[in-house]
Amino acid sequence: METSLKNMIKGDRVIWTILLLLSMLSMLIVYSATGALAFRQADGNTFYFLVRQMVFLGLGFGLILIMVNVIPVKFYSIISRVVVIASILLLALAIGMKITGLAGDSTGRTLNLGFLSFQPAEVAKLGLIMFTAKMLGIEQNSREGLKNAFWKVLVFTVIICAMIAYSNVSTAMLLFATIMTMMFIGRVPLRYLLLLAVAGIGLIAVIYLYGDRMGKISLRFPTAQARLERFVKGDPAEEKGITQADYAKLAIYEGGIVGKGPGNSDVANYMAAAYNDFIYAIIIEEYGLIIGGAGVLMLYLIFFFRGVTIVRRANRTFPAFLVTGLTLLLTFQAMINMGVSAGVIPVTGQPLPWVSMGGTSLLFTSVAFGCILSVSYQNQKDKKVEAPAVQVIVPDEDQEMK
């Protein structure tokens, strides 16, 4: 059993190790950060959310193993267009349910189908990155082709990001930045990307100045404006008193260099998102700046550089761009989460990949890791095929005698 499981763990072993370390950290910190939540929602059962997180982490690892061992990388290229179109339909359905009131008190981020509840934006992120990787890979041979790829990708990017922004501005911006970076790496003419960058900066400026008047366009624009104002001015835009960001700074201050020790967080009892958006602050409070802060940051940086290595070893364009996009997405998201906890960027509501408590969102993250490890394993197989066989020539005995 142990040998068969070892044989199934294919691809970059460093990334597998990072996932294992992040999983152990996730279970420890989710158990610690959900104590107060458990008393409110789980009848005081403090193990409820720990068991839940362990189940989803186990499902995530299982999904990655299936992807690496069963599904070929070219399959993601084949289904990319279908996934993009399906994600647009799912986003439209979620928005429609919110507008008609069928979503109840939901913000419109989650689509509840009764038997399954998930965020369509997670599907859109994966689908759009796959589609962009396919377009950039196909059109690499000519400048005119890259222009065509740019316009095709831009149409889907604008549609998807606009629909995501209706209920989640930060995720829309994260995805837009990821696609922009992919196209820059894919050698799309720089003048096109500069125009998009200017448009993006202009949109942020409009939200900052007029976000409170744009509630009909996006439910989250007024909230985004309030967060930007608080970050720029240092004063609450809508409410007075201590906010989640203030508690995060307090947690980092309380943790200091060495931390309070596992399970000894006090600030987590006062934070509504201690197990999700601000989990990095609780990690530092318990494990300190050196082990908790710098250690977690180093794991994500190592993952980023392993992703770069996988891209450089790929001998096909689609896998290379696929890993590029997914690595950028996960790394950007991790840096945003850590930056929010440290107070260096405005509050965005992005979870820490593979560490924050999650359900279906964690499974979609596992799909991203599964794609990266699948490409890594394909690189290893291609290297074995390309390696020339060593021909051993045994000299004839008569020739040796001569």
- Mean pLDDT per 10-residue interval, the chain, length 402 residues: 70 94 94 79 78 93 94 94 94 83 65 77 94 91 84 92 86 92 90 84 73 60 70 57 81 90 86 85 93 95 96 92 96 93 84 88 93 93 62 46 40
- Report whether 351 contacts 330 (CB < 8 A): no
Residue 98 pLDDT: 76
The predicted pLDDT at position 210 comes to 61
Q: How many residues does the chain have?
A: 402
Closest to 30 measured CA to CA, from 46, 7, 8, 13: 46
Q: How far apart are CA 273 and CA 375, in angstroms?
A: 34
Paired residues of 111 in beta bridges: 118
Q: What is the model's pLDDT at position 240?
A: 55
How much is the pLDDT for 117? 78
Q: What is the reported pTM?
A: 0.88
Residue 400 has a pLDDT of 42
- pLDDT for 280 equals 93
* Among the listed residues 217, 196, 192, the one whose alpha carbon sits nearest the alpha carbon of residue 207: 217
Question: What tokens does 216 get?
Answer: 């009909």
pLDDT digits (tens, 9 = 90+) for 279-300: 999 999 999 999 999 999 999 9
Position 132, amino acid: T
CA–CA distance, 223 with 108 (Å, rounded to integer): 14
To the nearest 5 percent, what fractions of the chain are helix, strand and coil? Answer: 70, 0, 25
